[in-house]
Amino acid sequence: MLPEAVDEGQKPEGGDTQSALVLGALGVVYGDIGTSPLYSFREALRVAGSDGTVLREDVLGVLSLIVWALTLVVTVKYVTFVLRADNRGEGGTLSLMSLARNSFARRPTLILGIGVVGASLFMGDSVITPAISVLSAVEGLETVTPAFQPYVVPITIFILLLLFMVQRFGTGAVGKVFGPIMFVWFLTIGLSGLRHIADDLGVLWAINPWHAVAFLVSNPGLSFATVGAVFLAVTGAEALYVDLGHFGRRPIVTAWLAIVFPCLLLNYFGQGAFVLSRTSMPENVFFDMQPDWALLPVVVLATMATVIASQSVIAGAYSLVRQAVQMNILPRFGILHTSETQSGQIYIPRVTWILAVGVILLVLGFERSGNLASAYGISVTGEMVVTDILLFIVMRRIWNWQVAAAVSLILAFLVVDTVFLGANIIKVAEGGWVSLCIAAAMCLIMWTWIRGSRYLFEKTRKSEVPLGVIVKEMVRKPPVVVPGTAVFLTGDPESAPTALMHSLKHYKVLHESNVILTIATAPTPLVPEDERVEMEKINDLFMRVKITFGYMEQPNLPRALAQCRKQGWKFDIMTTSFFLSRRSLKASRHAGMPVWQDKLFIALARNAADATEYFQIPTGRVVEIGTQVVI
């Protein structure tokens, strides 16, 4: 049985109605899939008519493939099933991984590895989507006049640079117009398609799946390549799940069924009828079918829609990186909040400019959206396969489905997704290697950080003294006690923090109140305030405190410590000093990892955000004590 939706729609501040949430979902969730008509049908027809001619059966077959891809992948898989697999209202690859992994008592590493692969593939999508989306829209200028052809790439780069530069201002103000613009976009493409369906009403027969089957059977040599191009029509489907926490299930489903799906179908059918009514294959189907008076406005609107689609993917990358940092899958990145009221609006400078460089290199390297289409798809299909695997675990262990039912449904999903994956894999040499290289690089970075962090923890733990031993020694031979509170941050609450040991060794004094503080990340997106803090008094000198944040929360240590007041710990921030251990890492040939991986881990650690800044500790109250560790 399917679980009941926990949260059918989160209302933003100001008591926004469901209609406002639906409008917002149009702007944030459906930007990517909503701009697919710019290039997907065109690319699929080019593959099907590789000899320069396009037959009626080819048009109906390609169109039928697109219709049923949208129906099966988006409507059936994501809308009906995947959106119900929420982790306390949050979605996305890492949320699903966390949900599946927590259903096991020992939290298997294999599931963590599957989640890392899915997250890495999403980052590949985050680089390619802005490039192909904006490039395909700007290419519409060539339809206005061929004189624009030399300026397509420069204009695209200018728009993308502008997009990345405004990220630091946040998407709050701009986001309010995203929904209305995308609403106008969907109405435009829907009416544009409806206008041309009458050119050849026979195109409506493409709704019969037999045309898709007949095309694949009669064109075995082209079928795989065509399916790979058809998949471009459903790229962006994963955004429905990634943005679940922003809007809730009901607005996302309503927007799809009431607006997005009908308008996409109308446009694709219109493109098909337009091609059937012509004697030759149009150069750019989407823009060629527009009336002359509407061509330039549609190009402008398409460019705005693709910028919004790119913005949505960038915001998704920010969200994924924040989750990965909180789960200790990636090193700490400096995260800036661009809104005082909406915690989800964040800006990560380092991620922004890494994405910007990658996107611009793709535009310069491929130059045409048709060329980029070969690079697009592998990362998305791979992520969809990862979602299938994790969803099966959730079905069996959390939803308590019978084995036969869960296996039958997931096998059906896997058949569709693996066919799409296989159809895209064959395009590796034509540009698909870009997706694989980006995903492989991200996997290597995440794997190195996870492995290195665990090895470093085990190594330092062996050399540390148990906290109980130090506490007893301080009672037996108390050092000089000075007024104030000392808070020692540590990842292991059972061992004496390095900063405490160095403080006793060099200063030979102890504060009258000493707190051994551990900051942990919960396997859930949010942690209730009443569960935030755990306190344990050891004796009059020492206390152990554990503060837990959800993986979607930005740690704020002073605010969390204020919660301790409600549990009886009275402290004054102005008389409190925070002691942090700063490790200086050195590679060793005799370590548990290869030297190259040691050096990569050390480089990642050196570029991690400062703990003082990340945990938002007042800089004037921090004392850092360095130590050297050979790994």
Residues 137 and 194 in one domain: yes
Give the type of residue at 364: L
Residues 411 and 523 in one domain: no
Nearest to 572 by CA among 469, 508, 486, 458: 486
Dist CA 314 CA 32 (whole Å): 11
Is 228 a member of any domain?
Answer: yes
β-pairing, 542-549 vs 509-521, is: parallel
Residue 275 pLDDT class (50, 70, 90 cuts): very high
Residues 23 and 87 in one domain: yes
Dist CA 173 CA 57 (whole Å): 48
Domain boundary among 451, 485, 509: 451
Q: For the chain, what is the domain count? A: 2
pLDDT at 301: 93
Is 422 a member of any domain?
Answer: yes
Cα Rg of the chain (Å, integer): 27
pLDDT tens-digit profile of 97-143? 999 998 888 888 899 999 999 999 988 888 888 988 889 889 888 88
What is this structure's pTM?
0.82
Residues 221 and 366 in one domain: yes
Is 444 a member of any domain?
Answer: yes
Residues 428 and 505 in one domain: no
Helices and strands in the chain, H and E counts: 27, 8
Is 457 a member of any domain?
Answer: no
Residues 442 and 480 in one domain: no
Is 2 a member of any domain?
Answer: no
Domain boundary among 387, 417, 451: 451
Q: How is residue 473 written in tokens? A: 């020694």
Average pLDDT of the residues of the chain: 85
Residues 433 and 521 in one domain: no
pLDDT at 342: 53
Give the type of residue at 492: D
Dist CA 47 CA 39 (whole Å): 12
Is 602 a member of any domain?
Answer: yes
Please spell the DSSP secondary structure of 264-286, one letter per residue: HHHHHHHHHHHHHTSSS--SSHH
pLDDT tens-digit profile of 579-624? 887 777 777 776 678 888 888 988 888 888 777 878 888 777 888 8
Residues 441 and 472 in one domain: no
Dist CA 616 CA 553 (whole Å): 13
Residues 550 and 519 in one domain: yes
Residues 447 and 469 in one domain: no
Residues 469 and 429 in one domain: no
- H or E element that contains 629: strand 622-630
Is 8 a member of any domain?
Answer: no
Q: Find out whether 369 and 132 touch, Cβ atoms under 8 Å.
A: yes
CATH number at residue 115: 1.20.1740.10
β-pairing, 509-521 vs 533-537, is: unpaired
Give the type of residue at 105: A
Is 351 a member of any domain?
Answer: yes
pLDDT at 5: 44
pLDDT tens-digit profile of 453-496? 888 888 777 777 888 888 888 878 878 888 888 899 888 888 88
Domain that holds residue 494: 465-630
Angle between helices 172-197 and 292-326 (to 10 degrees): 130
Q: How many CB atoms lie within 10 A of CB 516?
A: 26
Residues 418 and 481 in one domain: no
Tell me the C-alpha to C-alpha distance, in Å, between residue 572 and each of 7, 352, 443, 483, 623: 39, 38, 44, 12, 17
Domain boundary among 451, 480, 499: 451
Supply φ then ψ for residue 103, to 5 degrees: -75, -10
pLDDT tens-digit profile of 549-584? 888 787 888 888 877 777 777 777 777 888 887 777
More confident residue, 584 or 324: 324
Q: How many CB atoms lie within 10 A of CB 261?
A: 19
